[in-house]
Structure 1
Amino acid sequence: MARAFASQGDTAEKNVSFSQIGEGLYAFTAEGDPNSGVIVGDDSVMIVEAQATPRLARKVIECVRSVTDKPISHLVMTHYHAVRVLGASAYGAPQVIMSETARAMVAERGQEDWDSEFARFPRLFQGHEEIPGLTWPTTTFHGRMSVYLGKRRIDLMQPGRAHTAGDAVVYVPDQNVMFTGDIVEYKSACYCGDGHFHDWPATIEAIRAWDLDAIAPGRGDALVGRDMVNAALDSTTDFVRSTYRPAAKVALGGGSLKDAYDAVRAECDPKFGDYAIYEHCLPFNVARAYDEARDIDTPRIWTAERDAAMWEQLQA
């Protein structure tokens, strides 16, 4: 039986958790759906990741209001993907921040990504009629910048290419806590369709060097304590390498994309088959790994049409 395309068969509402991971720091998680982060400063609040729609963003705002009545002043997007950014209008934040590279990717492929993800995640895009358009930052940075919420300093940094070329992390030094976006996942498949397999493990090691006390990952439970942090870093690296190696071997040996898909399944199914969105991600991941092995450094733009053609080819 053919599998439902991407997450079209995932229709069940997820249970939301709102976990404190440091003083004034919270992770909004929902059983493998995209996470958001909350940083409460002296006089205002920063949100990390907007969610896919204003409807979903309001769930985050409800959680924020359960812990503080301070205004939301900053919204940070760790990368450009539609499920992360299109809920931005709900927050009314005067400062919307992305890396320069992430903004460039919105300009280059933002609409195509929106159309693509809309077809992949119908449940996440319920209420999409409220989305006013693409999300554009008011502020961009290259490499590193700091934002002050009163005396609380938040560092925005680009540790390297991984999930996308424009990935950023958000670090709160007074608590030694980081919001990593989709560079790090926990018991959820990494989406690698726009990723950089060769760079990703080194980027994870750059994050590990901070010796963090807690991480809010892109998907999955909040990671509190160094044992849990390091376990997630290890498993994310293993996922990336276990996806790339068999696909690259096939590609470099002249095999087909379907051959690469079968080889990756043989390697990854036993280890990651029960991870959230595993079946969703796998075909996109294999297609990107196959391309990167053939020296296509810039991920090709996914469109709704390319998605469907690739899925049909690999699921046949």
Structure 2
Amino acid sequence: MAKAFASQGDMSEKKISFTEVGEGLYAFTAEGDPNSGVIIGDDSVMIIEAQATPRLANKVIECVRSVTDKPITHVALTHYHAVRVLGASAFGAQQIIMSDAARAMVVERGQEDWDSEFQRFPRLFEGHESIPGLTYPTTTFSESMSVYLGKRRVDIMHLGRAHTAGDAVIHVPDQNVMFTGDIVEYNSACYCGDGHFADWGDTLDAIKWFEVDAIAPGRGNALVGQDMVNAAIENTRDFVESTYRPAAKVAARGGSLKEAWDAVRAECDPKFADYAIYEHCLPFNVARAFDEARGIETPRIWTAQRDLEMWEQLQG
């Protein structure tokens, strides 16, 4: 019997922080759990990332209500993963925004992702019985769109593939602040199980081009100041490259998934073993890196059963 996923035993309560990253802009963070963002406009509020359940989304709403009583009218979702989107109903927003590619992934693999993530990381689905179903957007875009919260312009853009094929970033030009979703992390492992390793670095370069003054990353503390922003971008790049490179070398010589796992651990453990959710992400990261290196362009759909089969193979 294979041992349980590392995340299945992670039941500790995480401390919530609510950090102002620009005027009227906030990062909701929780020690490596999924972050959310808040953009306060002239007469309304946009939320970035909806959390995994309506109950968890209410923790974000409590923080919002500590700084404004303006109505929440928009929810922007950077990608399709269950822990980011299934709490959307709690906000009562008029518009839920995703990229076209992210919506297509909800249709193609949203239920499988929900089932898989619930099995892997039960603590993140506190109040799961309150989820009304899959979250579909009311509004989609291909490359970019702008939303005006009164006079405040919010640009929502697809800059390239990275964490998923449909990743979006949200940029607020008047403060030069960006919400990157899981393209950028800080002191937290990147989840690469649905990623595109060959593209991730180019997408990081596209983010870096903006020379933003602050980033609210997908996980980890808010990044304030260009030095901290650039350090996090380069650290994310190192994590992604350090995961892919050893797996690709094993794949090139016809080695096994287990050999790729050992090679990635040898490279990554010394640098990243103390990062949040590192052990949780690692098997999925190795499996995807090994697939991409063998020419599997589109990430295979994770199901609860595939998760277990992969994990058993790595334990063998």
Query: Is TM more than 0.5 here?
Result: yes
Corresponding residue for 1:288? Answer: 288
Q: When the two structures are superposed, what TM-score results if normalisation uses the length of structure 2?
A: 0.99
Please tell me whether the aligned partners of residues 53 and 128 of structure 2 are also in contact (alpha carbons under 8 angstroms). yes
| Alpha-carbon offset, residue 2 of structure 1 | 6.4
Return 121-130 or 158-167, whichever deviates more. 121-130
Corresponding residue for 1:143? Answer: 143
3-state SS of the aligned residue for 1:83? helix
Corresponding residue for 1:230? Answer: 230
Corresponding residue for 1:241? Answer: 241
3-state SS of the aligned residue for 2:154? strand
| Alpha-carbon offset, residue 313 of structure 1 | 1.2
Note the residue ranges of structure 2 that are not aligned, 5 or more in a row.
none
Structure-1 separation of matches of 2:3 and 2:279? 9
3-state SS of the aligned residue for 2:20? strand
Which residues in structure 2 correspond to 1:91-106 (within 5 Å)?
Answer: 91-106=91-106
3-state SS of the aligned residue for 2:197? coil
Structure-1 separation of matches of 2:94 and 2:211? 32
Q: Deviations over 1:114-165 (max 9, x none)?
A: 0000001111112100000000000000100000000000000011000000
Task: Pick closer, same or farther for the CA change 1:2–1:187 going to 2, 3 Å.
Answer: farther
Corresponding residue for 2:57? Answer: 57
Question: What fraction of aligned residue pairs are identical, expressed as a percent?
Answer: 80
Corresponding residue for 1:194? Answer: 194
Structure-2 separation of matches of 1:158 and 1:250? 32
Corresponding residue for 2:114? Answer: 114
Structure-2 separation of matches of 1:17 and 1:313? 38
Structure-2 separation of matches of 1:6 and 1:209? 36
Count of residues in correspondence between the two structures: 316
| Alpha-carbon offset, residue 246 of structure 1 | 0.2
Corresponding residue for 1:259? Answer: 259
3-state SS of the aligned residue for 1:298? coil
Structure-2 separation of matches of 1:224 and 1:2? 42
| Alpha-carbon offset, residue 310 of structure 1 | 0.5
Please tell me whether the aligned partners of residues 2 and 312 of structure 2 are also in contact (alpha carbons under 8 angstroms). no
Structure-2 separation of matches of 1:273 and 1:3? 19
Q: Deviations over 1:226-277 (max 9, x none)?
A: 0100000000000000000000000111000000000000000000000000
Structure-2 separation of matches of 1:180 and 1:3? 33
Which residues in structure 2 correspond to 1:1-316 (within 5 Å)?
Answer: 4-316=4-316
Note the residue ranges of structure 1 that are not aligned, 5 or more in a row.
none
Equivalent residue letter for 2:97: I
Q: Deviations over 1:20-77 (max 9, x none)?
A: 0000000000000000000000000000000000010000000000000000000000
3-state SS of the aligned residue for 1:235? helix
3-state SS of the aligned residue for 1:259? helix
Structure-2 separation of matches of 1:32 and 1:126? 16
Q: When the two structures are superposed, what TM-score results if normalisation uses the length of structure 1?
A: 0.99
Structure-2 separation of matches of 1:315 and 1:157? 40
Q: Deviations over 1:74-106 (max 9, x none)?
A: 000000000000000100001000000000000
Structure-1 separation of matches of 2:202 and 2:24? 30
Structure-2 separation of matches of 1:151 and 1:238? 38
Structure-2 separation of matches of 1:214 and 1:314? 39
Structure-1 separation of matches of 2:269 and 2:306? 24
Equivalent residue letter for 1:10: D
Structure-1 separation of matches of 2:6 and 2:165? 23
Q: Deviations over 1:160-206 (max 9, x none)?
A: 00000000000000000000000000000000000000000110011
Structure-2 separation of matches of 1:259 and 1:291? 13
Structure-1 separation of matches of 2:126 and 2:243? 31
3-state SS of the aligned residue for 2:97? strand
Structure-2 separation of matches of 1:87 and 1:73? 15
Please tell me whether the aligned partners of residues 32 and 277 of structure 2 are also in contact (alpha carbons under 8 angstroms). yes
| Alpha-carbon offset, residue 294 of structure 1 | 0.8
Equivalent residue letter for 1:84: R
| Alpha-carbon offset, residue 4 of structure 1 | 3.0
